[in-house]
């Protein structure tokens, strides 16, 4: 279906709360949005899905007033508008909750709630003070109306992510937002926390709040949304009431092809596992600022095995990964890699012994975004042949190696000299994998490998991990996506409050069982 056909099938409702018609936006040679038409009815939860680079983010920036379209029109309350900036969009009631929350971590939740819009009590003369009683009353009233329990005295940086998200929403409501744009709102939530969020969003819909819900998770779209619109290559290719469609249809339009996206049991490990590759014994580390302590963690990963580490965000998974890869010191216990004690070795030495690492934070840790695609994909190999010859870089060899690594994992890029920031999120992640598997490591420690990655990119990354395992490699997979762990892992370890609280073989695990272990073993430490 082309954009014109899609636009005609997605006819405008009787009343349009927020929308765009025949919207176009170009950045140089890239047509980010082409003839986009989307109409959101008042009090509707409207899902927008599509691969990375499909044009969703560009439209969201336009609907926030951050960007101006080249042509087409924006509609708010059945009227054409041209935003002068984000403040103008907010004046019209449009607010956005970003993937990375905007709360100040060192302020309390109450201070964050009123920051920039503080209720004041005027004293004698021109001096005023903040009316904290009024601030607290407004927070409690909004939390009560949305059935959310909030400890307003708690510092934001030490608050569970789902409560931070609720406060982001409440803050927008307090300032008069009646149209909410939510960007991947469930990316860091456990299953029960997703249900809590959905309960809140349904309640807001009942109170006539309009919600634009951007997501990659089609099951969640089907469970929550009233209507779904699919973007592909900068165009609207499909729009339908959720009641009139299904996951296979939506996915087929997203990736441009239909087909079964499930992975049969035959895709799991065949045969027995090999020797122990990674072993953590009684691993202990104290709490540092904004981090969780570890309490005697024991964990093994064997040759030819994917071990999934599941847990509610903030229960020690990140700290464990940092200890394993050499980014955090341990106070007690030991770490062994293929029998070598690596407890006190720096990250570089661990890599030399056969450890690869895919960070959850590709923007700040996994990549140097301002550096070239070439420099990123060969990083770490500059001291070795064939790139290094007698202490000098062989630039021709470096280019060949970079191209081969990128081609192996089908990374889409313009030129080797382009900045890594020019790639889509999925291609950035493939670049990281291309670099990490190039040295043929014994073990891959992989954290949140598909966060912010589209459907096709997720399938590609899952295939990389399976192929690495099937070739005899070992994988520790840390993910807050339970479906991902259940699909990939041969064995699942569950973490809560800095401890491993249980383990399951893949064949005996399901979402309900793992979710209960995450949440009933102290995993909701808030």
Q: How high is the pLDDT of residue 231?
A: 92
- Position of tokens 């980014």? 327
Distance CA 202, CA 211 (A): 10
Helix H or strand E segment including 447: strand 443-447
Residue 20 to residues 33, 165, 208: CA-CA distances in angstroms?
11, 27, 20
Closest by CA to 505, choosing from 306, 325, 322, is 306
Domains and CATH numbers, the chain: 3-255 (3.40.50.300), 263-354+442-526 (3.40.50.300), 362-440 (no CATH)
Q: How high is the pLDDT of residue 517?
A: 79
DSSP structure class, residue 157? G
For 55-102, how does the pLDDT look when each residue is reduced to its tens digit (9 = 90+)?
Answer: 888 999 999 999 999 999 999 999 999 999 999 999 999 999 887 778
Distance CA 335, CA 363 (A): 27
Question: 41 is written with which tokens?
Answer: 């009815």
Q: How high is the pLDDT of residue 125?
A: 65
- Position of tokens 């064949």? 507
Distance CA 58, CA 106 (A): 31
How are strands ordered across the β-sheet holding 94-97?
94-97, 179-183, 210-214, 45-50, 227-232, 235-241
Angle at 83 (CA atoms; ends 79, 89), nearest 5 degrees: 85
Residue 423 to residues 54, 364, 380, 411, 420: CA-CA distances in angstroms?
13, 15, 21, 9, 6
Mean pLDDT of the chain, nearest integer: 87
Rounded to two decimals, the pTM is 0.61
- Position of tokens 């307090």? 174
In this predicted structure, the answer to whether residue 301 has a pLDDT above a threshold of 50 is: yes
First to last CA, the chain: 48
Q: Are strands 18-27 and 30-40 parallel, antiparallel or unpaired?
A: antiparallel
- Position of tokens 């149209």? 179
The 3 state secondary structure assigned to 265-310 is: HHHCCCCCCCCEEEEEEEEEECCCCCCCCEEEEEEEEECCCEEEEE
Q: How high is the pLDDT of residue 202?
A: 94
In this predicted structure, the answer to whether residue 16 has a pLDDT above a threshold of 80 is: yes
Helix H or strand E segment including 169: helix 161-174
Q: How high is the pLDDT of residue 195?
A: 86
For 328-376, how does the pLDDT look when each residue is reduced to its tens digit (9 = 90+)?
Answer: 999 999 999 999 999 999 999 999 999 999 998 888 889 999 999 999 9
Question: 338 is written with which tokens?
Answer: 């293929």
Mean pLDDT calculated for residue range 453-473: 88
- Position of tokens 């996206």? 261
pLDDT band at 524 (very low <50, low <70, confident <90, very high): very low
């Amino acid at each position: 279906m082309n954009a014109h056909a899609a636009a005609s099938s997605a006819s405008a409702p009787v009343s349009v709360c927020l929308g765009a018609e025949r919207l176009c936006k170009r950045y140089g040679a890239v047509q980010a949005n082409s003839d986009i038409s989307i109409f959101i009815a008042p009090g509707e939860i409207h899902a927008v899905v599509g691969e990375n680079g499909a044009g969703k983010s560009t439209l969201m920036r336009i609907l926030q007033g951050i960007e101006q379209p080249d042509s087409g029109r924006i509609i708010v309350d059945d009227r054409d508008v041209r935003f002068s900036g984000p403040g103008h969009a907010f004046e019209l009631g449009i607010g956005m909750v970003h993937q990375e929350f905007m709360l100040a971590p060192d302020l309390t939740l109450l201070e964050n709630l009123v920051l920039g819009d503080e209720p004041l009590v005027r004293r004698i003369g021109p001096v005023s003070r903040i009316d904290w009683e009024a601030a607290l009353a407004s927070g409690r009233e909004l939390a009560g109306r949305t059935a959310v329990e909030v400890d307003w005295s708690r510092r934001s940086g030490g608050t569970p992510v789902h409560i931070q998200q609720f406060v982001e929403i409440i803050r927008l409501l307090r300032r008069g937002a009646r149209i909410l744009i939510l960007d991947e709102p469930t990316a860091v939530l456990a299953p029960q926390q997703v249900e809590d969020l959905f309960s809140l969003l349904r309640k807001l819909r009942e109170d006539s709040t309009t919600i634009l819900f951007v997501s990659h998770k089609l099951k969640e779209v089907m469970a929550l949304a009233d209507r779904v619109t699919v973007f592909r290559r900068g165009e609207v290719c499909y729009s339908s009431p959720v009641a009139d469609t299904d996951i296979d249809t939506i996915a087929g339009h997203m990736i441009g092809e239909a087909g079964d996206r499930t992975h049969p049991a035959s895709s799991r490990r065949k045969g027995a596992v090999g020797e122990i590759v990674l072993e953590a014994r009684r691993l202990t580390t104290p709490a540092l600022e904004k981090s969780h302590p570890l309490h005697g963690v024991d964990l093994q990963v064997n040759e030819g095995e994917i071990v999934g580490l599941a847990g509610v965000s903030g229960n020690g998974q990140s700290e464990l990964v940092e200890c394993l890869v050499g980014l955090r010191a341990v106070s007690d216990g030991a770490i062994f890699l293929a029998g070598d004690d690596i407890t006190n070795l720096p990250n570089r030495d661990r890599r030399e012994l056969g450890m690869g690492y895919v960070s959850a934070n590709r923007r700040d840790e996994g990549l140097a975004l301002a550096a070239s695609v070439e420099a990123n994909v060969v990083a770490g190999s500059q001291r070795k042949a064939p790139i290094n010859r007698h202490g000098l870089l062989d630039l021709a060899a470096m280019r060949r190696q970079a191209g081969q690594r990128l081609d192996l994992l089908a990374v889409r890029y313009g030129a080797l000299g382009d900045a890594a920031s020019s790639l889509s999120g999925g291609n950035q992640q493939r670049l990281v994998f291309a670099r990490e598997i190039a040295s043929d490591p014994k073990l891959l420690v992989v954290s949140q490998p598909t966060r912010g990655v589209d459907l096709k990119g997720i399938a590609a990354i899952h295939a990389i991990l399976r192929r690495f395992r099937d070739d005899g490699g070992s994988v520790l997979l840390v993910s807050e996506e339970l479906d991902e762990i259940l699909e990939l892992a041969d064995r699942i370890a569950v973490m809560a409050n800095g401890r491993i609280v249980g383990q399951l073989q893949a064949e005996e695990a399901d979402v309900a069982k793992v979710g209960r272990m995450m949440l009933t073993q102290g995993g909701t430490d808030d």
